[in-house]
C-alpha cells in the first residue's frame, strides 16, 4: 500500500482536501514494474494530473515515505516526461530521488521552536496587557471590569466572573464584575455560596487553579450539577486571588455548549493574572481604607473646627457679657454676691469687699468665706432664712445681718437675692 502522507502537502504543491488518498496495491504494481520507487511515485503523480500531454514538463515534489525500519525519510523526487503521444499516453519518463531528511528535520524543528516561542511571546504580551490595565486604576469598579474584560477576551471564553472574598460576618463571594460574549444576553444572577460548596472551598484554599474540563465528571461539582446544566456550563477553571497567603477574591472562566480541554499554558497564565489581581485588590482595599480614614478625619476636623468656632463665639459673648456685668458692678454702689450652690464657689464683687475694708485679693471667692464673716449671733437666723427661701418656703430672700470688717468691727448689711431652680426643683 503506497500512501501520500499529510506532510507531503506542506510544500503547497498539493491540496490535502483533494489529493490525500491511498492507492490500491495492484495499481501501483501495474504501473511501477521494473522502475525505482521514486520514479514510480513521480509517475503516479504525473499520470494523476494528466501531465504527460506536455512533453517538456518538468516538476519536483517533496514527500515523506516510511522505510522498513519505520524511520521517516524525506525524499526529493524529480520527474521529467521525455515523450508522450497526442492521445495522452506516456511513452518515456525519467526521474531521480535525493534523501533530504536532515535538512527537512532541521527545518521542522526550527518551525516547531519558532511556533512555541511565538506562542509564549503572545502569552507574555497578553499577560503584560492585563497587568498594565489592572495597575492603571485603583478604583475598584474600574479595574475589576477592566480585568474581567481582558481575561474574557484573552481566553476567548463565554463568560468570566470576578468575585471578592469577604470573611465576615459569614464567608461569601459577592460578584463584582462580569464579562460575557455578546450573544449571551442574560447576566449572571446566581449567588454562589461558600459554606457547603466544596468546589469554592477548594478554590479558596490554594493558589493553584482548579481545572474542570467536563463539569459532569467533576466530583467537586456533583452537588451543583443542576446549576451547571441550568446555565449550559460545560467546562470551567476557578482560581483564587490572594495577598500574603490569604484569599481576597476569585476568578472563574466558563465555557458553554461543549467541554473544553484547558491547556497548561492557559492555566499558568490565569494563575499569574490571579496573582496580580490579588495584589491589586489588596492595594485597592488599603486605598479604600485610607480614603475612608481621611473622610472620617475630615469629618472630625470639621466637627472640631465647628466646636472651636462655637466655643470662640461663646467665649467672646461671655467676655462681652462680663464686660457689661463689670460696668454694672462698677456703676452700682451695692456689693454683688453670686453663689454656685453645687460647687460652693461664691463670687464676691470688689465693692462688697471694699465695703468691709478688704482688698480684692484678701478674700477667697467661696461660700465659706462669707459664712466666716457672719456675726455669731446672726449666723443661725441667716442660714435658716436662706434655707427657707431655697426650699421655696419663703417667697423672697431678704435679710439683715452683720459682717466682720477687716479692722474687726462689724457692719450691718441688707441682703437681697434671687435663686434659680432646675426642673427637679433643686436650687
Domain extent listing, the chain: 2-99, 123-289, 332-417
How is 73-99 classified by DSSP, letter by letter? EEEEEEEEEEEE-TTS-EEEEEEEEEE
What does pTM read for this prediction? 0.48
Average pLDDT over every residue of 114-135: 64
pLDDT value for 421: 87
Record: fold of 123-289: Beta-Lactamase (3.30.450)
pLDDT value for 95: 64
Q: Is 404 within 8 Å of 356 (Cβ atoms)? A: yes
Average pLDDT over every residue of 34-58: 46
CATH class belonging to 332-417: alpha beta
- What is the rounded CA–CA span in Å between residue 223 and residue 225? 6
Q: What is the pLDDT of residues 276-326, one digit of tens each?
A: 888 888 887 787 777 788 888 888 888 888 889 898 888 888 888 877 777
For the record, the C-alpha cell of 383 comes out as 442660714
Q: Give the residue from 222, 230, 220 showing the smallest Cα distance to 256.
A: 230
Residue that has been written with the C-alpha cell 468546589 in this structure:
199
pLDDT value for 316: 87
Looking at per-residue confidence, does 149 or 5 come out higher? Answer: 149
Amino acid at each position: 500500500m503506497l500512501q501520500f502522507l499529510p506532510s507531503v502537502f506542506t510544500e503547497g504543491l498539493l491540496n490535502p482536501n483533494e489529493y490525500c488518498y491511498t492507492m490500491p496495491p495492484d495499481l501501483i504494481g501495474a504501473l511501477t514494474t521494473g522502475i525505482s520507487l521514486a520514479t514510480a511515485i513521480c509517475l503516479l503523480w504525473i499520470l494523476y494530473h494528466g501531465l504527460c500531454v506536455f512533453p517538456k514538463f518538468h516538476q519536483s515534489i517533496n514527500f515523506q515515505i516510511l522505510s522498513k525500519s519505520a524511520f521517516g525519510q524525506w525524499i526529493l523526487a524529480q520527474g521529467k516526461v521525455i515523450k508522450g503521444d497526442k492521445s495522452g499516453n506516456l511513452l518515456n519518463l525519467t526521474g531521480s530521488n535525493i534523501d533530504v531528511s536532515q535538512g527537512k528535520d532541521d527545518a521542522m524543528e526550527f518551525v516547531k521552536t519558532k511556533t512555541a516561542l511565538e506562542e509564549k511571546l503572545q502569552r507574555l504580551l497578553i499577560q503584560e496587557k492585563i497587568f498594565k490595565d489592572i495597575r492603571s486604576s485603583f478604583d475598584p469598579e474600574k479595574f475589576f471590569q477592566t480585568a474581567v474584560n481582558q481575561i474574557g477576551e484573552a481566553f476567548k471564553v463565554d463568560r468570566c466572573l470576578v468575585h471578592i472574598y469577604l470573611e465576615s460576618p459569614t464567608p461569601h463571594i459577592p460578584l463584582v464584575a462580569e464579562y460575557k460574549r455578546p450573544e449571551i444576553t442574560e447576566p449572571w444572577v446566581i449567588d454562589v455560596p461558600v459554606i457547603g460548596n466544596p468546589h469554592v472551598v477548594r478554590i479558596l484554599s490554594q493558589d493553584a487553579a482548579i481545572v474542570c474540563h467536563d463539569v459532569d465528571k467533576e466530583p467537586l461539582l456533583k452537588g451543583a450539577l443542576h446549576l451547571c446544566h441550568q446555565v449550559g456550563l460545560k467546562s470551567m477553571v476557578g482560581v483564587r486571588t490572594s495577598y500574603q497567603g490569604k484569599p481576597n477574591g476569585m476568578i472563574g472562566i466558563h465555557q458553554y455548549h461543549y467541554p473544553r480541554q484547558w491547556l497548561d499554558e492557559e492555566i499558568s497564565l490565569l494563575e499569574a493574572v490571579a496573582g496580580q489581581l490579588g495584589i491589586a485588590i489588596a492595594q485597592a482595599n488599603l486605598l479604600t481604607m485610607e480614603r475612608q480614614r481621611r473622610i472620617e478625619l475630615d469629618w472630625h476636623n470639621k466637627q472640631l473646627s465647628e466646636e472651636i468656632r462655637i466655643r470662640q463665639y461663646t467665649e467672646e459673648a461671655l467676655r462681652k457679657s462680663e464686660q457689661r456685668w463689670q460696668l454694672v458692678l462698677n456703676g452700682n454702689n451695692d456689693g454683688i454676691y453670686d453663689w454656685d450652690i453645687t460647687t460652693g464657689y461664691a463670687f464676691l464683687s470688689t465693692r462688697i469687699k471694699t465695703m468691709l475694708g478688704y482688698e480684692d485679693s484678701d478674700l477667697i471667692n467661696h461660700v465659706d468665706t462669707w459664712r466666716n464673716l457672719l456675726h455669731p449671733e446672726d449666723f443661725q437666723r441667716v442660714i435658716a432664712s436662706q434655707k427657707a427661701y431655697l426650699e421655696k418656703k419663703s417667697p423672697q430672700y431678704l435679710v439683715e445681718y452683720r459682717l466682720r470688717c477687716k479692722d474687726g468691727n462689724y457692719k450691718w448689711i441688707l441682703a437681697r437675692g434671687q435663686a434659680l431652680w432646675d426642673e427637679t426643683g433643686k436650687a
